[in-house]
């Protein structure tokens, strides 16, 4: 697959977008509903989780100070499982599970349908029900991986906050650049697996994402660069020069412009990655 093919798929996706505006509108509505529902349904859980985390740090700090008065140095596990801190730890784990389930259900429902709409334009033969079932299983694997990485990072940051509250010296936290690199790499492989999903079982799509993502990285590099350019253009040109002034005049106008720009752009990128990964350009049957 050549660099030329990447640009051919970009242009083909653009033509499909212009020829089928209803699909773009449908995808935009799904993306908007996902963001609205995610914010609405997860806000109470996130607020409660924050309270439990703050209480956990306070409880562990108290236990550690008492141990220090006795010249003891308990381990982090002993501190976390102490009678004073254990209820808050259990609360943290419970509300993290609640957030995981809410995010997973909403993501599969709205984003799975949006990705299936993109596959529909590329003549996928997989039914909507079968696709959503595969999408759910595939994302169960990705959510677990993302969740494990997130828990590890949050544990490191929580330990740093705990040590700072006791010693007044900040501990090591996961750098923002490292977070971005790790989650960016996972998102890269996940997008490739989405492109594979409409013509493969979910397990094969998951495995193929890593194989092709590593072996054909230079092939996907033009797509990555174009996607980054689009993201930077949205962040540093479109938002400050168009959406921000419109929001200052009328918040509803700014929101409408943002949705009108971001929605079709997201659908266009879905079309491109699905077509690119599936190698459909030039081999798909033309009408």
Say what the pLDDT of residue 39 is: 92
254 occurs within a structural domain: yes
% of the chain residues with pLDDT over 90: 27
| Interatomic CA distance for residues 204 and 32, integer angstroms | 30
Are the CB atoms for 24 and 283 separated by under 8 Å?
A: no
What's the domain range around 110? Answer: 3-278
Residue 218 has pLDDT above 90, yes or no: no
126 occurs within a structural domain: yes
115 occurs within a structural domain: yes
- What are the tens digits of pLDDT across the range 164-210? 766 666 667 888 889 989 998 999 999 999 988 888 899 999 999 99
Phi/psi zone of residue 48: left (φ > 0), alpha (ψ -120 to 50 degrees), beta?
alpha
231 occurs within a structural domain: yes
- What are the tens digits of pLDDT across the range 71-127? 666 667 777 788 888 898 899 889 989 999 999 999 999 999 999 888 887 777 778
69 pLDDT band, cuts 50/70/90, is: low
pTM for the model stands at 0.80
283 occurs within a structural domain: no
Total tally of structural domains belonging to the chain: 1
CA distances, 206 to each of 23, 118, 145, 190, 244 (Å):
26, 19, 12, 8, 39
Torsion 276-277-278-282 (CA) sign = positive
Say what the pLDDT of residue 167 is: 65
**The residue to which tokens 């997008």 are assigned:** 191
Say what the pLDDT of residue 166 is: 63
| Interatomic CA distance for residues 189 and 195, integer angstroms | 10
284 occurs within a structural domain: no
| Interatomic CA distance for residues 17 and 266, integer angstroms | 11
- What are the tens digits of pLDDT across the range 20-46? 888 888 888 999 999 999 999 999 999
Are the CB atoms for 145 and 210 separated by under 8 Å?
A: no
285 occurs within a structural domain: no
């Amino acid at each position: 697959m050549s660099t030329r093919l990447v640009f051919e798929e970009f242009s083909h996706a653009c033509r499909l977008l212009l020829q089928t505006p209803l699909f773009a509108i449908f995808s935009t509505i799904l993306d908007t509903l996902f963001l609205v529902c995610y914010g609405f349904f997860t806000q109470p859980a996130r607020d409660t989780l924050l309270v439990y985390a703050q209480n956990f740090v306070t409880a562990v700090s108290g236990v550690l100070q008492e141990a220090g008065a006795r010249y003891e140095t308990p381990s982090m596990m002993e501190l976390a499982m102490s009678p004073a801190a254990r209820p808050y730890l259990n609360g943290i784990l419970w509300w993290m599970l609640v957030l995981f389930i809410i995010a997973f259900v909403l993501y599969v429902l709205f984003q799975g349908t949006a990705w299936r709409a993109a596959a529909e334009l590329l003549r996928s033969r997989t039914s909507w029900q079968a696709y959503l079932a595969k999408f759910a299983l595939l994302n169960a694997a990705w959510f677990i991986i993302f969740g494990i990485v997130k828990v590890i990072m949050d544990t490191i940051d929580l330990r740093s906050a705990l040590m700072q509250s006791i010693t007044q010296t900040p501990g090591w936290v996961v750098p923002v650049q490292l977070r971005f690199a790790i989650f960016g790499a996972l998102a890269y492989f996940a997008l490739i697996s989405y492109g594979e999903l409409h013509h493969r079982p979910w397990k094969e799509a998951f495995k193929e994402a890593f194989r092709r993502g590593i072996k054909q990285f230079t092939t996907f590099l033009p797509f990555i660069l174009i996607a980054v350019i689009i993201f930077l253009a949205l962040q540093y040109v479109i938002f400050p020069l168009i959406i921000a002034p419109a929001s200052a005049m009328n918040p509803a106008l700014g929101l409408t412009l943002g949705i009108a720009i971001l929605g079709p752009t997201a659908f266009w990128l879905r079309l491109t990655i699905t077509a690119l990964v599936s190698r459909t350009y030039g081999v798909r049957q033309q009408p």
